[in-house]
Structure 1
Amino acid sequence: MADLLSVAKLAGVSRATAARAFSSPELVRPETRHKVLEAAHRLAFRPNNVARQLRAQTTKMIGVMVPSLDNPVFAEQLQAMEVAARASGYSLIVTTSEYDASRESEIVEEMLRQRVDGLVLTIADADRSEVLAKLHREVCPYLLVYNQPEAADIPTIGVDNRAAVAEATRHLIALGHHRIGMVAGSLLQSDRARLRYEGYRQAMCDHGLTPRPLIEMPRHTQAELACLEPELSGHDGLTAVICTNDLLAISLIGELQRSGRSVPGDLSVMGFDGINLGHCLYPSLSTVEQPRVEIGRSAVQILLAMIRGETPQPLPLPHALREGESVGAPPTSRQVLVTRNPQRNTP
């Protein structure tokens, strides 16, 4: 295997000059740099970046933890982060917690062992987190994404979850809906869901309406109609629901249609996230759109500023209400909804 000395000899330069061509190429004359790089190519030599970075007390790596890669929200965030990090000479180490708060400390510990220069995290509950308590004792800079902790000294980037869902709720009320519910996965898996529920409750109370208890699904992104069924029946049945993420809303629309119900004829369904898949459905998904690409790009920029010793104070990014066909005015006369089996209705 070729080494740096072999490259220097083939290029006709000193070992120090060859090393400088890789570590500080701007300090080496272009023609000399070209000779060194050409010699390295001929000898299939690759410089040991890890060793050089460790000597400089930096790895140029950012550790990233997200709940899942199945959700396009996190995939789009990561893509934007990778582009921004690469432009600044950094790489990402990505791992998933699978919505399991008990794994978060283990994941962060492993990334700290790899000497990452900083961390970008989406955790289960920013206000009751063992991970954040641990990071307070570390020197490694970290930034939360999508979380919205009560503590003002914890840096975070995302939208105002309460305000976003409050706006979505007011939109439904303006269409004439008074019996509005909210559907989420387990609150233990997402503090974002809790904050969004608070925004829904506040908007309902502000309009003199009674907020309903949160309807929790066993899984974060997959609806089970049996959990919602009791809230659909009777004269007081729901006419609209807000789901705490788009995948949950899409799953719910499918379950409703398979049961013979119409969306939005029988039930209006609102999502949250604004993933592109929502455009492709029929009915198209009405949702609250988060600026996912801007969130990912800003996360890298803010973390790099923290690594440089700065103390940025990021502000919430703007959300947008994206109207779609899954939301409409409530039925003019509400009849008792019953589960209809398409097979039974077939002559």
Structure 2
Amino acid sequence: MSDLKDVARVAGVSRATAARCFASPDVVRPTTRDQVFAAARELGFRPNLLGRQLRLQTTQLIGVVVPSLLNPVFAEQFQAMERAARSRGYNLLLATTDYSAERESAVVEELLRQRVDGLVLTVTDAHSNRVLQSLSTEDTPFVLAYHQPGSTEYSAVSVDNRAGMALATRFLLDAGHRRIGMVAGPTLQSDRARQRYAGYCDAMAEHRLNAMAIIEMPSHTEADFSALVPLLSGPHAPTALVCSNDLLAISLIAELRRHGWAVPEQLSIIGFDGIAIGTQMHPTLCSVVQPIAALATTVIDQLLAQIAGAAPTSHCLPCHIRPGESTQPYEETLHDPLQ
């Protein structure tokens, strides 16, 4: 079986240079690195990463915990984080929780057993979470993604969820809508949904309008038309709805159209996340865009800084409205959709 010495001989370099190509490829000249990697392929050599990890007491692994990959926002986030981590010599281990606090505890414990060097977490509620409380006694650094924690002990990267939903609501208000409601999944499972509802209420209060009670769906990503039926008729029926995330908005549009409602002609819909698929549907989805790629890169940068010894710090990134065909001015809305 070939070893590193054989690779160095075939590549025409020293053993130390060959070792550097595998351990720290960025510090080796590209031509030399290519020679060494070509020799390794020719000889069928692969470095023993486990032995190196044991010597250095590091796995070069980052554990990532997200609620679900059914929501494309987390898939887009993971892809961008994987790219950023790989460029720094790290790999990611992924676990999903299905928005379950009990599941969060189990998957974090499993990742800690894998000896990950750090964790990226999107949890149900960052303000009262047993996982975060237990991690405070561990040596493993972690960064929260999408959360805005009140504690300065935690590192977090997010947008301002409250301000973002206020922006969405003002967008509809500026278009002339006054009867605006908000649709979300189970609000007790998500601090982000509660912050977004607060932002909706803020914008409605600015215009001296009464905020409607949150329209709660049984799932964070699937709309249930039966939950909307009591609200869709009468003098107080909404002309527009803001949704706590894009996938829920897409599902809501599908449910409305399936039951004979036209979007946006009868009801304007706006989402929150800015996932790419929203631009590929018809009507295209109007949405509050989170800078998912920038957020993912910032999360990895901050986590690696903590792994290197830096103190926790938080970042709040800007968001903006992406206009789409799912909303239109109130003046163009059909005000008597059932007649």
Contact 1:272 1:288 in 2 (8 A): yes
Counterpart code for 1:243: C
Residue equivalent to 1:128: 128
Mapped partners of 1:209, 1:234: distance in 2: 18
The reply on whether 1:278 has 2:278 as its aligned counterpart is yes
For 1:64 and 1:315, locate their aligned partners in 2 and report how far apart those are by CA, in whole Å. 18
User: Which residue is equivalent to 2:153?
Assistant: 153
Per mean C-alpha deviation after superposition, the further-off stretch among 257-266 and 245-254 is 257-266
Tell me how far 1:335 sits from its aligned partner: 5.2
In the alignment, the residues of structure 2 paired with residue 278 and residue 18 of structure 1 have an alpha-carbon distance, to the nearest angstrom, of 47
1:235/1:334 contact within 8 Å kept? no
Counterpart of 2:224 in structure 1 is 224
Pair 105,234 (structure 1): closer, same or farther in 2 beyond 3 Å: same
Tell whether 2:67 aligns with 1:91: no
Equivalence for 1:344 = none
Distance 1:308 1:232, change over 3 A: same
Given that 1:66 and 1:123 are in contact with CA atoms closer than 8 Å, whether structure 2 keeps it comes out as: yes
Q: Distance in 2 between matches of 1:29 and 1:317?
A: 36
Determine the C-alpha separation between the residues in 1 that align with 2:258 and 2:173.
Answer: 27
**Corresponding position: 1:248 with 2:219:** no
- Are residues 210 and 18 of structure 1, via their aligned partners in 2, closer, same or farther at CA, if it must alter by over 3 Å? closer
Determine the structure 2 residue equivalent to 1:343.
none
Using a 3 Å threshold, how does the CA distance of structure 1 residues 50 and 230 change in structure 2: closer, same or farther? same
CA-to-aligned-CA distance 1:160-187 (integer Å, 9 cap, x gap): 0000001111121122212111000111
Hey, what does 1:304 align to over in structure 2? 304
Contact 2:184 2:215 in 1 (8 A): yes
> Quick check: 1:126–1:147 contact (8 Å CA) kept in 2?
yes
Q: Which amino acid letter does the alignment assign opposite residue 267 of structure 1? A: L
Amino acid at match of 2:295: I
Which residue identity is paired with 1:134?
S
- The one-letter code sitting in structure 2 at the alignment partner of 1:108 is V
User: 2:171 corresponds to which residue?
Assistant: 171
2:100 and 2:43 map into 1 onto residues whose CA distance is 47
Q: 1:328 to 1:190 in 2, by over 3 A?
A: same
Q: Between 209-218 and 31-40, report the one with greater CA deviation.
A: 31-40
Q: Once the 2 structures are TM-superposed, how far is the Cα of residue 207 of structure 1 from its aligned partner?
A: 1.5
Q: Output the CA distance in 1 between the equivalents of 2:140 and 2:188.
A: 27
- Aligned pair count reads 339
Q: Check conservation: 2:152, 2:312, Cα contact below 8 A.
A: no
C-alpha separation in 1, matches of 2:4 and 2:282: 61
Closer, same or farther in 2 for the Cα pair 1:23/1:337, shift >3 Å? closer
Aligned-partner Cα distance in 2 for 1:166–1:26: 44
State the TM-score, normalized to the length of structure 2.
0.90
Alpha-carbon deviations, 1:176-212, whole Å to 9, x = none?
2121110001113321111100111111122211111
1:257 and 2:257 are equivalent in the alignment? yes
Q: 1:325 to 1:23 in 2, by over 3 A?
A: closer
CA distance in 2, matches of 1:253, 1:288: 16
Distance 1:87 1:7, change over 3 A: closer
> Rg: which structure is higher?
1
After superposition, give the CA deviation of every residue in 1:298-332 in whole Å (9 maximum; x if it has no partner): 11111111111112533210001111121122257
1:234/1:335 contact within 8 Å kept? no
- 5 Å matches for 1:11-26? 22-23=22-23
Structure 2 residue aligned with 1:115: 115
Q: Which has the higher mean CA deviation after the structures are superposed, 157-166 or 75-84?
A: 75-84
State the partner residue of 2:54.
54
Go from structure 1 to structure 2 and tell me whether the alpha carbon gap of 1:152 and 1:203 turns closer, same or farther (over 3 Å shift): farther
Are 1:76 and 2:76 counterparts? Answer: yes
SS in 1 for 2:183: strand
Unaligned 5+ runs, structure 2: none
* Alpha-carbon shift at residue 41 of structure 1 (Å): 4.2
Gaps of 5+ in 1: 341-347
Shift of 1:67: 1.2
* Structure 2 partner of 1:317: 317
- For 1:62 and 1:19, how far apart are their aligned partners in 2? 24
Deviates more, 1:16-25 or 1:154-163: 16-25
Matches of 1:29 and 1:242 in 2, distance apart?
53
CA contact (8 A) 2:243 2:249 kept: yes
Q: TM-score, normalised by structure 1?
A: 0.88
